[in-house]
Amino acid sequence: MREPGIPHPRLPLPLEGGEDDPASFLAWLGEAIPMVEHLGIRSMRREGGDLEWRLDLSPSLNDKGTGFGGALAAQTTLLGWCWTTLWLRRRGYERDVVVAEAGQRFLAPVTGDYRLVCTPEAEDGPERLAERLERRGKGRIALVQRLWCGDTLCLEARGDYAVLPAD
């Protein structure tokens, strides 16, 4: 059981040049952030610069039988945090990531299981983040999350994620 004010132990970094196993990362995430086990995440995969979750709608239902906006907003924010954390881990950084700013636009009701896709807002965003980390030891990146229910774009979110300096 997690205790307030006590950080959860970090997941060991992957071997140099390696990537995190998605299932292991999601298991750690569920321990580190207890609400994760209630989000309905079925799978996680990386494709190019994107990070994608597949989710079940049932844990996020509202009173109308569609996706609850608060749960969907939390999921988009957390997916951006995961994108940033995994990007750092592939480069050998053990850093804290925090969301600095987040917002969303709800475009259509979520009526079934769905996928969330996170990508950098600017194509050169990851390179700029790498430069800032090298030069200043901290940085920020803007990410966009899109929620698709079938072929329908239901939600578009944007967040700025800050990478804090090393301890």
Tell me the CATH number at 95.
Answer: 3.10.129.10
The pLDDT, as a whole number, for residue 2 is 79
Dihedral, 85, 54, 104, 91 alpha carbons, nearest 10: 20
Provide the pairing of β-strand 139-149 with 152-163: antiparallel
The pLDDT, as a whole number, for residue 69 is 97
pTM: 0.96
Taking each helix axis from N to C terminus, what angle separates 69-90 and 22-32, rounded to the nearest 10 degrees? 120
Would you say residue 50 lies in a domain? yes
If one counts the domains in the chain, the total is 1
**Termini Cα distance of the chain:** 25
Would you say residue 15 lies in a domain? no
For residue 69, give its domain range. Answer: 22-163
For the chain, list residues with pLDDT below 70. none
pLDDT digits (tens, 9 = 90+) for 54-89: 999 999 999 999 999 999 999 999 999 999 999 999
Which has the closest alpha carbon to 154: 99, 103, 112?
A: 112
Would you say residue 2 lies in a domain? no
Q: List CB contacts of 139: < 8 A, sequence separation 6 or more.
A: 128, 129, 131, 132, 133, 162, 163
Would you say residue 14 lies in a domain? no
